[in-house]
Amino acid sequence: MRTTPLGSTGLTVPVQGLGCMRLGGSRAPDGDRAATAVVHRALDLGATLLDTADLYGGGRNEVLVGRALRQRRDEAILCTKFGVVPTPHGELGTRGDAAYVRSACEASLTRLGTDVIDLYYLHDRDPTVPIEETVGAMAELVKAGKVRHLGLSNVTGEDLRAAHAVHPIAALQSEWSLVGRAIEAAVPVCRELGVGVVPYCPQGAGGLSLEPVPRPPHIAGVSPTLGGVVRDIAGRHGVRPGQVALAWVHQQAEVWGVSVAPIPGTTRVVHLEENVAAAELTLDAEELTRLDQASRPGRAHTQ
């Protein structure tokens, strides 16, 4: 797979990776084995940018990814996230104080079975803690050799600018798809600062994907007009609608002048292979215009 510098911190990644959030969700006896097969096939295909988080499965997803990489750790660019935490009321909150940053990293390293995280993200910022404090603690992890590069997820352009002033940020991870374009308010800041963009839900949280998943009620759906345009373009190219959606995200790198590396998720090897093939699908100017006109900005959500 082709590679791209992800921002300006020296991290080079494949132009597409794998979002691991949904792996291991099944409690079937062969669930972990099937998830491991997806991870290994991703490595074989060059989609070596693997993304997880301590939130996913209460840490179980990190354990699964770490086990899958036990004999292949050096082949992967391993990314995880911290900062979204369960509350006593069963909801999700955020935490970004320096002490928690350090403890969260140690816990992730243990679950992943590794001594270094290649790209460590703040999953969502804690509004009660200055982002400078959070990123300062993350920078200490880099100095200690426990983390190689820093990223932010689900933050504003102002947050990104403040964080980057403390320590160079390699990547902004947020939703970016034909139905989720709120990130575009922050993309100019990414271009200015030399920060790469890692889009999650690039197929519209399932609405345009090869493998539909339940959609949270606050996430924009696919309009009939957009769905029709995507299907028409897919028919022209002889591909699946989800591949068109991915190709559109890839080509935003040229549109906006930033490095882009989407991380579509899947639980099936066949869909992984189709996603990887989409990285080489080129849409022409007329197709891009039609998609832009049919799509509508949506609200980003925490993944």
pLDDT of residue 211: 47
CB 260, CB 14: distance < 8 Å: no
Q: What is the predicted pLDDT for the residue at 71?
A: 95
In terms of DSSP bridges, do strands 147-153 and 171-175 run parallel, antiparallel, or are they unpaired? parallel
Structure tokens at 121: 């993200």
> Tell me: the pLDDT tens digits for 186-208?
999 999 999 999 999 999 865 67
> Do 145 and 97 meet the contact criterion of CB atoms below 8 Å apart?
no
**CA–CA gap between residue 94 and residue 86 (Å, rounded):** 8
What per-residue confidence (pLDDT) applies to 213? 46
> How many angstroms separate the CA atoms of 268 and 19, rounded?
12
The DSSP bridge partners found for residue 94 are 84
- Whole-number pLDDT of residue 252: 97
User: Tell me, what DSSP letter sits at residue 216?
Assistant: P
How far apart, in whole angstroms, are the C-alpha atoms of residue 201 and residue 257?
Answer: 21
- Sign of CA pseudo-dihedral 244, 248, 253, 255: positive
Q: What is the DSSP letter of 180?
A: B
Predicted local distance difference test score (pLDDT) of residue 221: 55
Whether 18 and 42 have beta carbons less than 8 Å apart is answered as yes
Specify the pTM: 0.92
**pLDDT recorded at residue 215:** 46
Classify 279 as helix, strand or coil: coil
Residue 3's beta-bridge partner residues?
14
Backbone angles phi, psi at 254, to 5 degrees: -75, -40
120 is annotated as an active-site residue: no
Give me the amino acid identity at 90: G
The pLDDT of residue 303 is 55
Contact 84, 94 (CB under 8 A): yes
pLDDT of the residue at 25: 73
Q: At what angle do helices 60-68 and 31-45 cross, to 10 degrees?
A: 60
| DSSP state letter for 169 | -
pLDDT, tens digit (0-9, with 9 covering 90-100), for 12-23: 999 999 999 999
Q: Residues of the chain whose pLDDT is less than 50?
A: 210-219, 298-301
- Residue among 56, 120, 121, 200 flagged as catalytic: 56
Q: Rounded to an integer, what distance in angstroms lies between the CA atom of residue 254 and that of residue 15?
A: 13
